Amino acid sequence: MSYIVGHPIKHPADFYGRHEQVTRFYEIIGGRQAQSVSILGVRRAGKTSFLQFVAHPSTMAQYLPDPDDYTMVYIDLSSCKGPADFYYRLLQRLKVALGKGKTGYLWKESPLGQTKLYDVEAYLCQFPGQRIVLLLDEFDHLRTEAFTHDFLTELRAMTGVLDYDLACVTASYWDLYTLGTRLGLPPTSPFYNIFYPTPIYMSALELTEAMALIDTPASKGGVTFSEDDVMAIQDLAGSMPFFVQATAAKWFQRIRAGGVPDAELIRQQLAADLAPYFDQWWHSFTTSERAVLLTVSGERPLTDLGYPPLELDAIVRRLHGYGLLYRADAEVCINGRIFQTWLRQYARQEPTQPVLPTPSGADLARIRHALVDSFDLDELRTLCFDLGMDFESLPGQSKPAKAREMVNYWRNRRDLDKLTEAIRVERGNII
């Protein structure tokens, strides 16, 4: 099989596109001073393949003037049971990459299972001339109970040590502010300051890149796609690499078997076969993001949603960044007919809350009174923790002030259903 469907890309020759993202990555981490950067993308957007590609020696040699001065260390956070396990894995991989260090350096490593930040720092201090780049994949895993905001604080501290040069590259779906909030990290934390101001999105491939990903593997496998074949595959799949390869593989297999590909049959098959991946996306979207996707998939005007223009534009830009939408002239479209089919046939069946109109003042007052009348301050603090909010960063000191700001927080995100659902879990149907 010429197409790699599912597994991360290991060999640079099999990696297609992303020239803009790769160039920007090296501009950020290859400057005079190490800078950290966040990489964002939905599941199956190719984040892991991207990290493997930029860390490959041949890629580093192409983009860095002195590649031997850089050491890239890949860590999958989802395989780490907690901070001690993370630091142990990191330390072992650093030892493999950098060696033993200076002879006679006074440092005794912590016992197995108790590895700490200090162990990593003490080791790195032996290599002041090397730039260390930590590639932290599956950074969303920090939402588990094993990690707290203290871990983010330690990461920030590790990048600020003057005795060595270190940057962090995080790969996740959730942006760093959302992750930090879920861990109880205040929005004013210096952790965020070490990252480049704008993330690198694993967005859709350029059209020419998607075409190459369709055509080249087929040629290597002994099949020549016609121009119509390539255009039909791209129309079905859109331009996200995983879905391009999955669709092209179906087309390839049909031709290899001596048949004629049926675009409509493949569209329906893959809309069902790829549903688990679309489901993962769907469960991560906010209510407003779902509303936009359903509206666009139904080819209805987005103005029907009644969202403020600035808010609507922000949602569309975010979904475009993730590669799910694209603009054709002044029109916003779903990226790929397979995903559009799934949205039309399956997404509506999801047990999600309906898109609500802008809440009235009476609605907001009712939720606020429920918080004030049915929770004390400690209980509000616990509710905030469960919702991933930083209670202390909310303006005000009194219970009514905190309750008001909690309502404002979720109203501004057009996601009040999360707050009302949490209230009902704790106090029943009081609102």
CATH assignment at residue 296: 1.10.10
What confidence tier does 418 reach under pLDDT thresholds 50, 70, 90? confident
Q: Are residues 324 and 378 in the same domain?
A: no
pLDDT digits (tens, 9 = 90+) for 192-238: 999 999 999 999 999 999 999 999 999 999 999 999 999 999 999 99
Q: What integer pLDDT is reported at residue 1 of this predicted model?
A: 57
Q: How far is CA 55 from the centre of its chain?
A: 19
CATH number, domain at 167?
Answer: 3.40.50.300
Whether residues 165 and 239 share a domain: the answer is no
Give the model's confidence band at 358: pLDDT under 50 very low, under 70 low, under 90 confident, else very high: low
Residue 79 lies in a domain: yes
In a domain, 5, yes or no: no
Q: How far is CA 359 from CA 48, 193, 420, in A?
A: 40, 35, 12
Q: In what order do the strands lie in the sheet with 70-76?
A: 70-76, 131-137, 165-172, 37-40, 200-201
Q: Which residues contact 143 (CB under 8 A, 6 or more apart)?
A: 174, 179, 182, 183
Specify the number of domains making up the chain.
Answer: 4
* pLDDT reported for residue 428: 84
Output DSSP code: residue 139.
G
pLDDT score at 426: 86
Same domain, 259 and 372: no
Q: How confident is the model at residue 139, as a pLDDT? A: 96
Query: 217 lies in a domain?
Result: yes
Q: What is the pLDDT of residue 110?
A: 86
What are the φ/ψ torsions at residue 100 (nearest 5 degrees)? Answer: -80, -25
The verdict on 49 and 61 lying in the same domain is yes
Q: Is the same domain home to 42 and 189?
A: yes
Token digits for 30? 């290859």
The arithmetic mean of pLDDT across residues 314-329, rounded, is 93
Q: In angstroms, rounded to a whole number, what is the distance separating the alpha carbons of residues 335 and 44?
A: 14
| DSSP result, 377-431 | HHHHHHHHHHTT--GGGSS-SSHHHHHHHHHHHHHHTT-HHHHHHHHHHHH-S--
- Residue with the two structure tokens 């192409």: 62
Q: Within a domain: residue 402?
A: yes
**Given the structure tokens 């046939």, which residue do they identify?**
345
Q: What phi and psi values does residue 312 have, to the nearest 5 degrees? A: -60, -40
354: pLDDT strictly greater than 60: no
| pLDDT over threshold 70, residue 399 | yes
Residues 281 and 388 in one domain: no
Indicate whether 38 and 74 sit together in one domain: yes
- Calculate the alpha carbon distances from 358 to 306, 307, 308, 422 in Å: 8, 8, 10, 20
Look at residue 350 and tell me whether its pLDDT is greater than 50: no
Residues 14-64 have pLDDT tens digits of 999 999 999 999 999 998 888 999 999 999 999 999 999 999 999 999 999
Q: Which of 273, 306, 324 is the last residue of a domain?
A: 273
What is the distance between the alpha carbons of residues 175 and 207, in angstroms, rounded to a whole number?
26
In a domain, residue 162? The reply is yes
2 located within any domain: no
Domain span holding position 249: 207-273
If asked whether residues 196 and 216 sit together in one domain, one would say: no
Q: Which two tokens stand for residue 185?
A: 């990290």
pLDDT digit string (tens) for 91-143?
Answer: 999 999 998 766 455 567 888 788 999 999 999 999 988 999 999 999 999 98
- What's the rounded mean pLDDT across residues 416-422? 88
For range 366-375, the mean pLDDT: 91
* Whether the predicted pLDDT of 73 surpasses 70: yes
Segment 287-319, tens digit of pLDDT: 889 999 999 999 999 999 888 898 899 999 999
Which of 349, 383, 400 is the last residue before a domain boundary? 349
Distance CA 181, CA 390 (A): 6
Percent of the chain with pLDDT over 90: 63
Q: How much is the pLDDT for 101?
A: 63
State the pLDDT confidence band at 353, using cuts at 50, 70 and 90.
very low
Which of 349, 371, 391 is the last residue before a domain boundary?
349
Structural domain contains residue 3: no
Residue 6 lies in a domain: no
The answer to whether residues 34 and 113 belong to one domain is yes
159 and 53, same domain (yes or no): yes
113 in the same domain as 29? yes
C-alpha of 284 from chain center? 10
Tell me the average pLDDT across 408-425.
84
Q: What is the pLDDT of residues 239-280, one digit of tens each?
A: 999 999 999 999 999 999 999 999 999 999 999 999 999 998
What pLDDT, on a 0 to 100 scale, did the predictor assign at position 236?
97
- Angle CA(51)–CA(277)–CA(83) in degrees, nearest 5? 50
Which residue in this structure is represented by tokens 């004030």?
A: 372
Q: Which amino acid is at 261?
A: P
Which residues on adjacent β-strands are paired with residue 166?
132
| Residue 281 shares a structural domain with residue 268 | no
pLDDT for the residue 351: 45
* pLDDT band at 425; cut points 50, 70, 90: confident
